[in-house]
Amino acid sequence: MQTAPTEANQLAAGLDSDTDHPAWRPPADRSRSEATGRKPIRVPLLYGSILLVVVLVVVAIWGFGGFKRRTDILKTTSPGTLFTVDARS
């Protein structure tokens, strides 16, 4: 049968005792943002920024003609037939 460890062994093993050390200070009453020096991002601002990026991407695709009707209609040809490509468009 093993005996229970003494208080000195408990402290050496990293176990907490029931009382706090007298040199320890209580935690500062600061928010996380004050501790790191950064301000938190507000949720509406975050979602609004994401929505703005999506809208800008869609507008850019539209502006460069990405949603225009295709004019290169597929034409069926038999195998081995030579064809030309009209590069005017």
The residue ranges of every structural domain in the chain are 7-63
Q: What pLDDT is recorded for position 83? A: 80
Q: What pLDDT is recorded for position 46? A: 94
The residues, ordered by sequence, that sit 6+ positions from 77 with a Cβ below 8 Å of its Cβ are: 83
- Residue range 84-89: average pLDDT? 71
User: CA gyration radius for the chain?
Assistant: 35
**Looking at per-residue confidence, does 26 or 14 come out higher?**
26
Q: What pLDDT is recorded for position 10? A: 53
Q: Which two tokens stand for residue 4?
A: 């229970």
Q: What is the pLDDT of residues 28-81, one digit of tens each?
A: 666 665 666 778 889 999 999 999 999 999 999 999 999 888 777 777 888 998
pTM over 0.75: no
Q: What pLDDT is recorded for position 69? A: 86
* Distance separating alpha carbons of residues 48 and 75, to the nearest angstrom: 45
